[in-house]
Amino acid sequence: MLREYPIGKPQMYSIPEVAKEMYDNWLESHVGLGFVSCSVYIPEQHIPPLPVKMGKLVFPTGHVYGTFTFHELEYAINNCGVVITEFREVCYFEH
């Protein structure tokens, strides 16, 4: 599946409540692209969905922190039981 690339200057949201609101708004509209820095809980499964760099690239389960694209998180939440436990920052590109 091809995705567009972010273009232009991003809007940064570092207040957790505002970051969550931005991501929730994107989930409803799917307008723009972005990245979310957050803590997530990934349930035990054969092939975990989210990559995290821990010296090398790994696909862990349990509680982890990372930066993920909006699309990665949406897939992981809807199909793999991932739960966002804490928002830290959102980097949003309008296009």
Average pLDDT of the chain, as a whole number: 92
Residue 63 is predicted with a pLDDT of 97
Answer whether residue 95 shows pLDDT above 80.
Answer: no
pTM, two decimal places: 0.89
Average pLDDT over residues 18-35: 93
pLDDT, one tens digit per residue, over 55-85 is: 999 999 999 999 999 999 999 999 999 999 9
Residue 61 is predicted with a pLDDT of 96
Q: Which residues contact 77 (CB under 8 A, 6 or more apart)?
A: 83, 84
Residue 44 parent element (H or E): none
Give the percent of the chain with pLDDT over 70: 97
Q: 3-class DSSP state for residue 60?
A: coil
